[in-house]
Amino acid sequence: MSAASSREATPGPSESRKIVLLRHAKADWPDVADHDRPLAERGRKDAPVAGRWLATTGISPDLTLCSTAARTRETWKLFVHELPQRPRTVYEDRIYEATLGDLLALLNETPDDVNNLMLVGHNPGMHALADALTGSAEGDSLARLSRVGFPTSAMAVVGFEGSWKTVEHGVGRLLDYWAPHA
């Protein structure tokens, strides 16, 4: 293998990547199993607004991993129509009721040809992942995340350098944070 093809196969330490963490929009509470809960009216209104916000950032996910729960799939369906380009989407069972360790493992499995990854999931996982990745970061976005928490339809954009296999506690920096009613 030549030096050039070796470099293509393994991204260098300066490879810049982004993770967009989206908590599903506001869900309704009908008499169904938790996994099958649909969005509430407010959620159906907030999801496209969140999609429009991401579109204004210029961040274009290469891949979206979305929980299989009804409320996350519905959020994604309304959200993605606002993006200039639809990313490849994988519906992932492991995001529903995922622990922080489960979510980190999913990130570590991401192929290195993906620069921008989006996760559409649930709390407390999305908030825990944002906190864990950014470690002791500082700034206005982090102060807002700390003050507001991670309400429905909220998004955190985390940047890091290197391979997905190296993602662990404290490797990222919070680049942006947005919530619809904050």
Structure tokens at 97: 């009721």
Q: What is the pLDDT of residue 114?
A: 97
pLDDT in tens, the chain (182 residues): 434 433 344 444 458 999 999 999 999 999 999 999 999 999 999 999 999 999 999 999 999 999 999 999 999 999 999 999 999 999 999 999 999 999 999 999 999 999 999 999 999 999 999 999 987 555 556 666 767 789 999 999 999 999 999 999 999 999 999 999 86
H or E element at residue 52: helix 41-57
Topology of domain 11-178, CATH: Rossmann fold (3.40.50)
Please report the sign of the dihedral spanned by the C-alpha atoms of residue 152, residue 156, residue 162, residue 167.
negative
Contact, 115 vs 86, CB < 8 A?
A: no
Tokens of 71: 């409320």
Q: C-alpha distances in angstroms, 101 versus 35, 94, 125, 128, 129?
A: 21, 11, 9, 10, 9
Are the beta carbons of 144 and 178 closer than 8 angstroms? Answer: no
**Global confidence as pTM:** 0.89
DSSP three-state, residue 7: helix
How many helices and strands in the chain, by DSSP H and E?
A: 6, 6
Beta bridge partners of residue 91, listed in sequence order: 66
Predicted pLDDT of residue 48: 98
Instruction: Report whether 161 contacts 13 (CB < 8 A).
Output: yes
Residue 138 to residues 8, 24, 175, Cα–Cα distance (Å)? 33, 26, 10
Question: Rounded distance, CA 57 to CA 62, Å?
Answer: 15
Residue 90's closest CA among 108, 110, 112? 110
